[in-house]
Structure 1
């Protein structure tokens, strides 16, 4: 019973204190700060289509797949973890209707972690008559950690702003009485709908072949992260 009475007493005291404390009557400085950074994507997903029709039936899908795997292994790609078969199809139905040759198609997704390796792989695939490659998406694997880090830096920036603002007032900056995690904006992530890659010698559909001795010069759009906070400081 004593424990219940003590709990009720503490609850009533807390409620009374909250009612008496009016933050609007506290001399304060309100400041808003944004901290921005840009990072390069470290997870790049490509779509690779192997089609017998691209070689006019001269090279089978099985042979194209073997060539693709050789190129990927030369660039230290783990085929089990980084390469996924997404679709296998053929024009078998059309064969019966039009009596044409059956031609197969295989679609793969490939995950790589940097633009330099992407350039080497694209060059190697093109040398093997595999040029139907498209960018699906770009990501940054440590995005959540980066967002938290930027929020901390935004608060530090808000404090520096506030200190500069009270310097000429002969007053001191007191403790923080309010913080708002206002927003975090992320731009530059590629999701297949907007341009996110700049490849010298490669258009959005296929290749315009560069010099044979060079790798493709690829630059992916950087991912921009903006973290914004609002902080209220006491003025003493």
Structure 2
């Protein structure tokens, strides 16, 4: 008896699945694909800063350089708690004659700025403080999630327009969407070591203006595949 019940349930499940598949295949449909992309200017720029003790007779300590940098950043309106973090602190050993060693400390920071102009001002300030070991880590766009949703909406609308253009000459109408697939590829949410262009400034530091820096824009794209039911 139990075997008969199992057999009946199996037959019913198989019939249901077959019926759903058959109904889907019997529905006339048109499949279209649409891709939408855009370029955005990054509004979050991360600058890597390394402060090291100078290997000279009258060297300046890391702590002194750190305090000078912090005071300069505050004067520029930079929020140290929100924009500056310490990434690494280490001590490097350098060998001298007759086995003498001296500890040379260093600290690494990450500074967040919000525009190329602000970055230019920071780089000029660091240069004036004789802190030259800096590099761009990455750039980001803060509203990337909202932008992705907007692009997906535009892509589906574009797929609909393509479907209508294809069916109009045939005298058919585009019905409801019976299947939608988001085929967007995953991509980095930031530009690692982005390209940048710095415009020249005056050689006279007293009259120099902040660097005008243009960053490589971030490309954001989405790709959708939509199946539309057709009717006469």
TM-score > 0.5 by shorter chain: yes
2:86 is the alignment partner of 1:85: yes
Map 1:1-236; keep pairs closer than 5 Å.
15=16, 18-19=19-20, 21-53=22-54, 57-91=58-92, 94=95, 98-186=99-187, 189-192=190-193, 196-200=194-198, 212=205, 213-236=208-231
What is the CA–CA distance in structure 2 between the aligned matches of 1:89 and 1:170, rounded to whole Å? 74
Aligned twin of 2:6: none
Give the total of aligned pairs. 218
What is the CA–CA distance in structure 2 between the aligned matches of 1:97 and 1:214, rounded to whole Å? 48
Compare 95-104 and 38-47 and name the one that shifted more: 95-104
TM-score (norm 2): 0.80
Can you give the 5+ residue segments of structure 2 that lack an aligned partner in the other structure?
A: 1-8
Label 1:214 to 1:56 Cα distance change in 2 as closer, same or farther (>3 A). farther
* CA-to-aligned-CA distance 1:55-110 (integer Å, 9 cap, x gap): 77532222211221122112321112221122223345747974254432121111
The root-mean-square deviation of aligned C-alpha atoms, in Å, is 3.0
Contact 2:54 2:61 in 1 (8 A): no
Label 1:100 to 1:176 Cα distance change in 2 as closer, same or farther (>3 A). same
* CA-to-aligned-CA distance 1:1-55 (integer Å, 9 cap, x gap): xxxxxxx9xx97x937853643233222111000101112222221111112377
Can you give the 5+ residue segments of structure 1 that lack an aligned partner in the other structure?
A: 1-7, 203-207
Label 1:88 to 1:130 Cα distance change in 2 as closer, same or farther (>3 A). same
What is the CA–CA distance in structure 1 between the aligned matches of 2:150 and 2:56, rounded to whole Å? 50
Contact 2:140 2:189 in 1 (8 A): no
Compare 180-189 and 133-142 and name the one that shifted more: 180-189
Contact 1:38 1:224 in 2 (8 A): yes
TM-score (norm 1): 0.78
